[in-house]
């Protein structure tokens, strides 16, 4: 398997849907599910692929491709992010939608799982072009989305402004403002306090718990963070605030490290000024892929899926891996890490803070009553801690890894909703 500078996957070499289905199959076998139920859980409930004609700023026309997949609706309306990435394909979106189903069930959020994506490199388009892409995509999937049907949120390559464009496009068609159609919006348009940092905070809550679980004092620990976007950047900041020394970070352009720990606040200022961690004066340059095998206690892969694979899992030196990204560890890497005694906190638990506070935002929008930052963060911490305890207990009871335990818990909850609702003729 080959990787890019930041360790990202090559779609031709790794299909995340294979990993998602393998995880489901393992959990279903442990739970003793019948084949028909497994088949229902393995296949998306609904999916759509749309063409997105775009008039570029120079007047030329380009046609892009977008997807929206609703994996499961048994526990409530679908929920899942929208990503803009050149690597987006339908199987990736299917896998991410399935993981969202398990994530929502694991955190006991009353949603099913969905995901959306457009095959586009947002760095190559102006903001005006991205707005036109977003609005056309929204209009194409409009029959599928809504506060009681499917609620998109930001993901890789998208942000709160993209969510504002989606909300506005949907609202114009509806003839009135519909704040609950998306989450991750700007605060001035019904966004929740604490939503931008929620995924990062959730990652750090379980990172600190996992370090303590393996007998380490977080204040004496070191960490490396692969990916310095919405999740990795906040995770590095909150880890540093908790006393963890962040020795190395990377983004899509390269990496930077310092043996005594990076000044994360200064690094953030550098990234704001230059757009990359590369060239930061407070550290020395390292290859982006080397971040994954850094000599640290904690590794947080927070970029894209498939970065830990059979080719590098044996070189990982961290005691604990906390998956800030969705699906960063392949099935083969999982087996290698488990054999070596590395504790892996799975994505459906580790990065669930975003969907938890998205749920809070949706609740607030439906009530037209907003909570304080303190209330949001307190409720987020409670949800993450409760889910961590549930997964730990399940893992101990069954004698399985944290990933298998988390998947078993989530799949069982979704399957129970399936059974209680029955099968429509």
| Tens of pLDDT, residues 139-155 | 999 999 999 999 999 99
Q: Which pLDDT score, from 0 to 100, does residue 19 have? A: 87
How would DSSP label each residue in 184-249?
A: S--GGGTPPTT-TTHHHHHHHHHHHHHHHHTT--GGG-EEEEE--SHHHHHHHHHHHHTT-EEEEE
In angstroms, the Cα distances linking 18 to 4, 92, 102, 333 are 21, 10, 16, 14
Under 8 Å between Cβ of 89 and 123: no
Domain boundaries 44-186, corresponding CATH code: 3.40.50.10860
Q: In whole numbers, what is the pLDDT of the chain averaged over residues? A: 93
- Looking only at the bridges linking them, the beta strands covering 245-251 and 254-257 are antiparallel
Q: Which pLDDT score, from 0 to 100, does residue 13 have? A: 63
Helices (H), 263-315: 264-274
| Tens of pLDDT, residues 99-135 | 999 999 999 999 999 999 999 999 999 999 999 999 9
C-beta contacts of 261-267 below 8 A and 24+ residues apart: 261/222, 262/236, 264/236, 264/237, 264/240, 265/237, 265/240, 267/236
Across 282-291, average pLDDT: 90
| Alpha carbons within 13 A on the beta-carbon side of 423 | 6
| Tens of pLDDT, residues 373-403 | 999 999 999 999 999 999 999 999 999 999 9
115 as an active site residue: the answer is yes
Domain with CATH 3.40.50.720 in the chain: 198-350
Specify the higher pLDDT residue, 380 or 15.
380
| Tens of pLDDT, residues 237-265 | 999 999 999 999 999 899 999 999 999 99
Domain with CATH 3.40.50.10860 in the chain: 44-186
pLDDT grade for 422, boundaries at 50, 70 and 90: confident
pLDDT grade for 425, boundaries at 50, 70 and 90: low
Considering the candidates 115, 149, 185, 230, report the single residue annotated as catalytic: 115
Instruction: Measure the CA–CA gap between 307 and 304, rounded to whole angstroms.
Output: 7
pLDDT grade for 10, boundaries at 50, 70 and 90: very low
Residue 90 above 80 pLDDT? yes
- Looking only at the bridges linking them, the beta strands covering 78-85 and 150-154 are parallel
pLDDT grade for 5, boundaries at 50, 70 and 90: very low
Residue 1 above 70 pLDDT? no
Across 164-178, average pLDDT: 97
Domain boundaries 198-350, corresponding CATH code: 3.40.50.720
Q: Which two tokens stand for residue 220?
A: 């004496």
Q: What is the DSSP secondary structure assignment for residue 262, as one 8-state letter?
A: -
Residue of 56, 52, 169 lying closest to 118 (CA atoms): 52
Provide the whole-model pTM: 0.87
β-sheet bridge partners, residue 78? 112, 150
Specify the higher pLDDT residue, 423 or 104.
104
């Amino acid at each position: 398997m080959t990787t890019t500078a930041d360790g990202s996957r090559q779609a031709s070499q790794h299909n995340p849907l294979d990993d998602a289905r393998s995880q489901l199959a393992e959990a279903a076998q442990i739970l003793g599910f019948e084949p028909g139920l497994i088949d229902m859980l393995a296949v998306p409930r609904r999916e759509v692929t749309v063409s997105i004609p775009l008039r570029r700023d120079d007047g030329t026309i380009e046609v892009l491709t977008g997807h929206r997949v609703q994996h499961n609706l048994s526990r409530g309306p679908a929920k899942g992010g929208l990503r803009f990435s050149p690597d987006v394909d339908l199987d990736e979106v299917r896998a991410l939608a399935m993981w969202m189903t398990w994530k929502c069930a694991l955190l006991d959020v009353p949603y099913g799982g969905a995901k959306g994506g457009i095959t586009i490199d947002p760095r190559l388009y102006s903001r005006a072009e991205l707005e036109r892409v977003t609005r056309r995509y929204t209009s194409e999937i409009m029959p599928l989305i809504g506060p009681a049907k499917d609620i998109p949120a930001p993901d890789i390559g998208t942000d709160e402004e993209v969510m504002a464009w989606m909300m506005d496009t949907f609202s114009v068609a509806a003839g009135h403002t519909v704040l609950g159609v998306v989450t991750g919006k700007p605060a001035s348009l019904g966004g929740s306090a604490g939503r931008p940092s929620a995924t990062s905070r959730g990652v750090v809550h379980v990172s600190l718990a996992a370090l303590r679980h393996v007998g380490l004092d977080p204040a004496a620990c070191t960490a490396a963070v692969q990916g310095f976007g919405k999740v990795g950047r906040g995770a590095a900041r909150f880890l540093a605030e908790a006393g963890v020394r962040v020795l190395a970070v990377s983004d899509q352009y390269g990496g930077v490290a310092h043996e005594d720990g990076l000044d994360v606040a200064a690094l953030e200022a550098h990234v704001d000024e230059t757009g990359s961690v590369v060239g930061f004066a407070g550290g020395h340059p390292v290859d982006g892929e080397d971040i994954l095998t850094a000599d640290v206690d904690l590794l947080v892969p927070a970029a894209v899926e498939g970065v830990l694979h059979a080719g590098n899992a044996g070189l990982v030196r961290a005691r604990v891996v906390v998956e800030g990204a969705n699906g960063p560890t392949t099935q083969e890497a999982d087996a290698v890490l488990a054999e070596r005694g590395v504790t892996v906190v799975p994505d459906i638990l580790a990065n669930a803070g975003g969907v938890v506070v998205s749920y809070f935002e949706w609740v607030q929008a439906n009530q037209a009553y907003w909570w304080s930052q303190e209330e949001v963060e307190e409720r987020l911490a409670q949800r993450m801690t409760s889910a961590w305890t549930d997964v730990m207990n399940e893992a101990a009871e069954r004698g399985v890894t944290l990933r298998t335990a988390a998947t078993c818990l989530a799949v069982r909850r979704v399957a129970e909703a399936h059974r209680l609702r029955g099968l429509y003729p």
